[in-house]
Structure 1
Amino acid sequence: MPLPRSKAGRVSIGAGLVAGGCLGFLPVLGFWMVPLGLIVLSHDLAYVRRGRRRVAIWWARRRQDKKTNQSAEE
């Protein structure tokens, strides 16, 4: 699904997803909306982009550490 070309459209969609995700206990909404909204917001907002990048690096290092620990145990 393509994002809107306007910055205001992308920011409003991202903020709406994050706000809807905070209400994830309701039947239609879900907590899955928070990370999706942050990904949309990271397209335009530098501080969200930096946070997303830090999480991506942390996750990659964590996976790499698990792989090395599993191969060392064998």
Structure 2
Amino acid sequence: MSDAERDQERERRLGLLIRRLPEGFQRMIRRLRQPSARWLRIPAGVLLIIGSIFSILPVFGLWMLPLGIVLLADDVPVLQRATDRVLEWIERRRPHWMGLAPNSR
């Protein structure tokens, strides 16, 4: 699979997951994922990952970890490959998380 095809697959899978978020979060995540928002995306990703450490507190949670990693993956190639594998696994094993019917692709 070429890099362009891999990028398209990642975008498709992330788009499916983003559609599952509440409307306000969808807009925020789409805005942060734009190439021009790199200066904001990297600190936001780091803060989300750090915030996940405090998941025992009411406002923070483990949900912050994957979101932070996905935001950083746009700028860190090692994280891109890892998120690609996780997104592929989710689509294969837990398609309902992406809003897909079981066994659909």
- What is the TM-score normalised by the length of structure 2? 0.54
1:57 to 76, 88, 95: 88
Q: How many residues align?
A: 66
Say whether 1:8 aligns with 2:39.
yes
Superposed displacement of residue 6, structure 1: 4.2
Aligned equivalent of 2:65: 34
> Which secondary structure does the structure 1 equivalent of 2:88 belong to?
helix
Superposed displacement of residue 39, structure 1: 1.0
- Cα root mean square deviation, aligned: 2.1
- Distance in 2 separating the partners of 1:62 and 1:6: 32
**Percentage of pairs with the same residue:** 36
Q: Structure 1: which 5+ residue stretches go unaligned? A: 69-74
Q: Looking at CA atoms only, which structure, 1 or 2, has the larger radius of gyration?
A: 1
- What is the TM-score normalised by the length of structure 1? 0.72
Moved segments of 4+, more than 6 Å: none
- The 1:27/1:63 distance shift into structure 2, 3 A limit, reads closer
Say whether 1:18 aligns with 2:66.
no
Task: Give deviations 1:30-70, integer Å, cap 9, x for gaps.
Answer: 11111111111111111111100011222333358xx67xx
- Distance in 2 separating the partners of 1:50 and 1:44: 12
Q: Structure 2: which 5+ residue stretches go unaligned? A: 1-27, 96-101
